[in-house]
Structures are given as structure tokens and as C-alpha cells.
Amino acid sequence: MKHRNRYPQTIAIDGPAASGKSSVGKHIANNLGYMFLDTGVMYRAVTFAVIEKGIAVEDEHAVGSLAEAIQVEVKKVSGTEDRKYAIFVDSINVTDQLRTTQVNRFVSQVSRYEKVRTAMTEQQKRIGRNGAIVMAGRDIGTVVLPKADLKVYLEATPQERARRRFAEEQEKGDNVSYEAILENVQMRDEIDSTREIAPLKPADDAHIINTDGKDVAQVTAEIMKIIEN
């Protein structure tokens, strides 16, 4: 573990789907001995709850009301290096159910609604105030932690990001085509970057890193060099 007082206490990592935010963020957090939070899982939790309750994703009022009514909690857990926290919806652990095809399909739509973003953003801000955290998402440096000590924005072409996601799905044994994944990545980019509330974009003072052709270790080393300096 590094000496915490030497390094940024709040680190924001933003970027589009499959740009490497989570993988890189986990490594940075491990290197520093910090907590890591992928804020996207909170929007996935809301999306999962919407699907489970049979609410139409297009019904913004109903989706927003549900987001305000349910309790989404992020709790630290002891276990593997890969997972340092679990996600609970109304005290039920839903961590293993947040990466389904249905959730992937609807999460960008759900997360663009004002009431949903407001409810989740407030919880993320509370977590961030504790410091010693690496937080990844799409609006961390611009909205959630606008005064973060360090802001990083990861980018990559849609094709590169679809290739990564396709490899992940194949490893899990899921039968999803590369073309379908690429279409989903491009759709999510469009939704995330054009929404009126907290659109996906780098903060003015973010370090922008292109991850095309780079593995997690290379990107992690690049960010650690920024931190060390």
C-alpha cells in the first residue's frame, strides 16, 4: 500500500462503454490501497429493478419514481481481488445479475432520466467525500466529483471497445455476435453523449488517454506515472 497522504485522495476515471475504466480503476485502487467504485453498477441496479418489476423502460416517470423509492447500497466485501464490493437493492444482493444482456441493452436509457441520475449521484457524492477512492463512470469528473484531485478520461474506438466486450462474452460462454455488441456500444455512445443531463464528455482538466492497442497494465502504468509525478 502506498502512503495515502502523498497521492490524490479522489481519483475520477471517466470514459465510454468498454474503454477500460473498471479494469484500470481496480488496478489503480489496488496500487494505492484505495476503495474502487464503478458507479455504472448503481445504474445497472436500477435497470435490473425496472426489468424485475416489469416497468416499461420508456416510462420515465415510473422509472424515476422507482429509482427514488428503492435503496441501492454499495457494501465492501472481503474476497477476491476482482471484487471489493457488492450491490444491494432493498437489502438483496444483486451483484451477479447486473451484466445480463437485458441490463446491457437498457442501462443507458434508464441512466439518462433526471430522477434516476439525481438519486444515484447523491449517493456517489457521499461515498466520494470519504476520500481514498477511485471512482469510475461517465460523469465523475464533471458532475459527481468536479473537484476530484485527479481526473482521467479513457477513450478508444467503438471497434476496439466492441472487440474487448466480445472477448469477455466469449470467455463467459455467451453466444453474442461481435456485430451485435458493436451496435450496442455505438447506441450507448449516442445516448450517453447526447443526453441533456450529465452527458458523457471529458472534464476540462482531465488527462485524456487513448487505450487503443493497450492492455490494462500499460494504461495503469501510464496513470500511475501521472500520480507519482
- What global pTM score does this model have? 0.84
Distance in angstroms between the alpha carbons of the first and the last residue of the chain:
17
The percent of residues in the chain predicted with pLDDT above 90, rounded, is 75
Its domain, for residue 14, covers 4-228
- Answer whether 113's CB lies under 8 Å from 196's CB: no
> Is a pLDDT exceeding 90 seen at residue 80?
no
Residue 106 and residue 57: Cα distance in Å, rounded?
Answer: 7
Q: Domains in the chain: how many in total?
A: 1
**CATH code: domain of residue 89:** 3.40.50.300
Residue 17 and residue 127: Cα distance in Å, rounded?
Answer: 22
Residue 73 and residue 194: Cα distance in Å, rounded?
Answer: 28
The percent of residues in the chain predicted with pLDDT above 70, rounded, is 95
Residues 166-195: what's their mean pLDDT?
A: 90
Q: Residue 52: which of 112, 106, 114, 109 has the closest Cα?
A: 106
